[in-house]
Amino acid sequence: MEILRIVVTGGVGAGKTTFIRTISEIETVDTDRKATDEIALLKDKTTVALDFGRLTIAPNQSLHLYGTPGQARFDFMWDILIQKAHAYILLIDAHRPEHLRYGRKILQFMKHRVKIPCLIGLTHTDCPDAWQMEDIALTLGLLDENNRLPIISVNPTEAASVKKSLIALLEEFAKYYQYSTQ
């Protein structure tokens, strides 16, 4: 069985756990605990180690999805989870501009640790105060439009949207490995 390991990362409330729960064909393994700090203002529970889900994509091929914690105090898990990943998706909540700097920090962290395909998934784009894709790209430091990481809108609560983002990430994976073997 060929296993492709995908890391789903992002800040608190970006939709990582929901993304994995929505698409996993197994009951998701999670480490959600009651939020006891300022995170409790955003949500009741928070991931403290990882989330895990699985999706079969071919008879002998599956995706293993690993969700990172969103809080900086658990950032050591980012390093553990990204080391054996084949690709990752960074979820950015488009309606919380105060979280964009943190999203940029996560992106820079990952880029310094590994050279693997990445996709930016914008969540909460349906909120009235959501930022536009171009503004988010600039804030993340993705200035070169011709050589930019792919950015798509994703709704972590909708299976079709999550599937679409995973397909886009797998297309990036295929391009990356096709290019790197030439």
Mind listing the pLDDT tens digit for each residue in 63-121? 999 999 887 778 888 899 999 999 999 999 999 888 899 999 999 999 999 999 999 99
Q: Distance between CA atoms of 88 and 113, rounded to whole angstroms? A: 12
Q: Which residues pair with 4 in a beta bridge?
A: 63
Helix-helix angle 16-23:159-180, to 10 degrees: 100
Q: pLDDT for 131-159, tens place per residue?
A: 999 999 999 988 887 778 999 999 999 99
Contact between 10 and 107 (Cβ < 8 Å): no
- Give me the amino acid identity at 122: L
Q: Which residues pair with 65 in a beta bridge?
A: 6, 53
Locus of tokens 């990362």: 9
Could you tell me the pTM of the whole model?
0.90
Domain boundaries, the chain: 2-180
CATH of the structural domain 2-180, one choice from 3.30.470.20, 3.40.50.300, 3.40.630.30, 3.40.50.1980: 3.40.50.300
Handedness of CA 144, 148, 158, 47 (dihedral sign): negative
Task: State how far Cα 159 lies from the chain centre.
Answer: 15
Residue % of the chain over a pLDDT of 90:
66
Q: Which residues pair with 53 in a beta bridge?
A: 65
